Amino acid sequence: MLTKNISKMAVVMIVSIAIISLFFIGCVHVDKYTADKIEKGLTEKYGGTFEVLALGNRYGTMTNDYVKANVKAVDSGVVFTAKMSPKGEILADDYASRKVSGQLEELLNNHLKSEGIIANNLMFSIWK
């Protein structure tokens, strides 16, 4: 009876480990593939180099029509969000507005600094 319980526990443990390892291996592969597609799409759209920082909504929306990513432009350091369709098309991103906002922040801070005022700004722009 004791050996029967031990063998059942061993089988359950082996199956659990196998399922967990398959889950993590599959997620890493899918995430890397999806991140590469997003980076490639943004490079084609804007030029430059992009790095996906995090993925969310991996086609897990109600209609399974996009994946959302937080992306960093390596050249300028701008961090923004992008949405990609299952076909690999970039549906939306806020790279241009974040880049312009960052440039305006820097311009304003430099102007204020030249007047003897030390300030930090955070600007958001919404473009449609």
When comparing pLDDT for 34 and 65, which is higher?
Answer: 34
Radius of gyration of the chain, Cα coordinates, nearest whole angstrom: 23
Residue 112 and residue 77 share a domain: no
When comparing pLDDT for 72 and 10, which is higher?
Answer: 72
Residue 35 and residue 16 share a domain: yes
Reported pTM = 0.67
Closest CA to 55 of 37, 73, 74, 75: 37
Q: How many CB atoms lie within 10 A of CB 97?
A: 16
Residue 119 and residue 79 share a domain: no
Residue 31 and residue 68 share a domain: yes
- Across the chain, what does the average pLDDT equal? 82
| pLDDT confidence of residue 123 | 78
pLDDT tens-digit readout, 55-72: 886 655 566 678 889 999
